[in-house]
Chain A
Amino acid sequence: MGAVMVAILLAAAAAGLLSTVLASVLILAERVLVNYGPCTIDINDGARRLEVTGGETLLASLKSQGIFIPSACGGRGTCAYCKLKVPQGAGPVAPTELPLLTPEEVAAGIRISCQVKVRNDLSVLVPEELFAVKEYRGVVERIRDLTHDIKELRIRLVEPKEIEFKAGQYVQLEAPAYGDNPEPVYRAYSMSSVPEERDAIELIVRLVPGGICTTWVFTMLGEGDEVTFSGPYGHFGLSDSDRDMVWVAGGSGMAPFWSMVRQLRDTGCNRRCTYFFGAVTARDMFLLTELRELEKELDWFTFVPALSEPTPGDEWDGETGLITEVLERHVDDGSELEAYLCGSPGMIRAAGEVLRRKGITSDRTFYDEFA
């Protein structure tokens, strides 16, 4: 009996070893022996045509030609941010893509571009705004503690030397490989600086427990260090209407509004704006002095900071309660207002419900979720 068991175990081990060897040979063969030759990537129905060497992923091939598709995981097929419609030439959907796509997306030809290999000519649809995205190198000029777990980074651009963006847009900051993290990762941060200042950007970064990028920012990144980022991305920003506005944010959701209010100050504004900013205690509140100064300076701007759990030591004489409760108290008739929200999905959902009850319809509500 024992001999039979040993034989079975040995056979199973041999089979496992054989399959591992075969898989390795296949991977090696594809890398070394298979030459897909030059391939053409047709972008947006002939609007652009790229000649690339086959064998790379679609995401990498586009990046090599200066087209940057948002991706947080660096091409490891886990974040699903790099979805693109690939009408022709991508081949069957890979097993690594299926978990990240809905059946509707599969039916529509949506693919995870970091998991699609360019093996032949293919066509792809790329959102127009991504053609303006570039990769930038910069130097960290200043790191400022805004709270115990939020830092402001100021990055002076090195190459290219200038960036064009709209207040509300974001960049993807690259955290290089470090420690146990074998590959770079990319994380999105809204720019908190004003767009008119083209040779530098500022970001507001909140520490995520266990976060790869934020841990790097908080423990390893220093002033004078070189960093890489790509951008600008995103559609969040002020509409062209002349409606009065309600802004709502919490935590690092401050970033787009800190950019917007100073841009409006510099360019002129004929819309009244009330900015509700929520924090838990005084130690979580930041840019308070600066925003109160702006409130004094700008007759169209009202700043309403609120603490949900002020401590006795906070000596807080401002609004208290959840930001939704503060909105309930301050917003009467929202039928002519626009709302802009930036923060966690829970905050956006809860605040959005309050604002809708006040008459701000969903088509006049714009939000930038922490997603």
Chain B
Amino acid sequence: MVEKVTIIVHSGDLDKIYSALIIGNGALAMGMDASLFFTFWGLQRLKKGDLEKGPLSKMNMLGLGSWMMKRRMKKANVAPLETLLQDFKDLDGKIIACEMTMEVMGMRKEDLHEDVIDEYGAVGTYIKEANESAITLFI
């Protein structure tokens, strides 16, 4: 049976979104299944156009840190988040949006990057995914 990775993307920080997508893509590249459950601040990043808007988790320095990090990543030829997100989808990764977060934070489907979201779910959806997974992470 194919092994699975499930990641809760709770943080909306730039570096943490990178981690989630890199790990998700890594798992898919190794022949595993991968699900990313976007909740709270993580789901904010799935609002249209907001993917790269997160602050750095440390040393953000009012945005200067994030700007410097993006520059360094570009110099090191690290792919942008939108590319990694598309790659994740191309390799059949699953993206789940947390319905509770949408309700609490007043987000509608139309506000979100709908074409990358496979499912809208609540905690039961996450527990089911995690239960089937060899690797579960909270980012």
A binds B: no
